[in-house]
Amino acid sequence: MKGKQVVLAAKKTTLKLLMLTNALLVSVIPTGQALAQAVDYTQPVPKTQFNFETPEEGWSFAGGAGLDYDRGLEHSGRGNGWVRATSGWNAINNLINVEPNSECSVTAWLRTSDTLTDGYISVRPFNIDGTIGSVINEIKLIGAGSPDPQNRDYNFYTFNFNSGYNNRVLFYVGLFGNGRDSWVQVDDVEVSCVSPVTQPPVPPITQPPVPPVTQPPVPPTDINQAGLDLIKKSEGFIEMAYSDPGGVLTIGFGHTGPDVVEGMIITPEQAEQLLRGDLQEAENTVSSLVTVPLNENEFSALVSFVFNVGAGNFEESVLLQLLNQANYLGAADEFLVWNKDNGEELPGLTERRERERELFLTPPVAPVPPV
């Protein structure tokens, strides 16, 4: 099949990785190795390829995305993946198991609509707690060429990344909708890695040290500063009491109640204290309805969401359903759905949902241990 080659990195590598399907981590131990011998992972092994020939390759989807078969849209074979939408975040994803500190490369054949302005082919770390880390490497996709998909050639894309401390990465092709019908088609994805040569194992210690006693993490019950700042920026501060469109006296960061009277003036510090009190109901709602572990950023992003949309909407939401199934990534993408009022998308709500999703996916900073 014809296609332009867009080569961003040409380092040829080999693979030592395993696919994650149904969130089950499968370990493979080389046989026939003496315990004291080093295992050389630089020897060539078969590469992992995703040819979209069957639906059993482990793909998951966010928003408008899926698989096509026998439609004549593939680069080769009979199938291909696709992402298509006019709004929000949409992606086709796959979880891959890699050796830590491996040099890896990604290759893929893609073609795009001429309307695409904000697409990505990307790799991120998949953390043990189910959160997604910052982008390791990616290519931004911008559409060009004929609007007819039958007349547009696939282009070849490749980039390299180092797996760092991670043993799992999330590979995805996705796009942010721009109000116009935009799409990406993907086929013949290949991920390959070279892992470092391992050192001989250290002989066992005769008297192993007693492991320290660790306390289980305490689940968060209060919004953190990052979540509070998110709400403050979204709500906006007004120092003098005013009547909202419904005629309700309001002050500070959207505070209402019998304590607000005409002519009342408060400082930003006083407004923050009132806001913390107003957030207690949302904090209690998240604590009572979420049944899976949350870190402080996940909890705070959910408190901001509930404070804005209400406890009832949260209780009935797909976001909560996916989260209580431990589908953290799927739940994160559901933030972006809640950006409309009476069916009309509002830029302010879109920005707030994107910031809540970003906070939800950001691992919290570990506290500095005392000296």
Catalytic residue positions?
A: 235
Distance CA 208, CA 342 (A): 64
Q: Which residues, other chains included, contact 320 with Cβ-Cβ below 8 Å and sequence gap of 6+? A: 289, 290, 314, 331
**Cα 163-164-165 angle, rounded to 5 deg:** 115
In three-state secondary structure terms, 365 is coil
Q: Which residues, other chains included, contact 364 with Cβ-Cβ below 8 Å and sequence gap of 6+? A: 224, 295, 296, 297
* Strand partners of residue 139: 121
Supply the DSSP symbol for 175.
E
Q: Which residues, other chains included, contact 169 with Cβ-Cβ below 8 Å and sequence gap of 6+? A: 95, 96, 98, 123, 124, 125, 126, 136, 161, 163
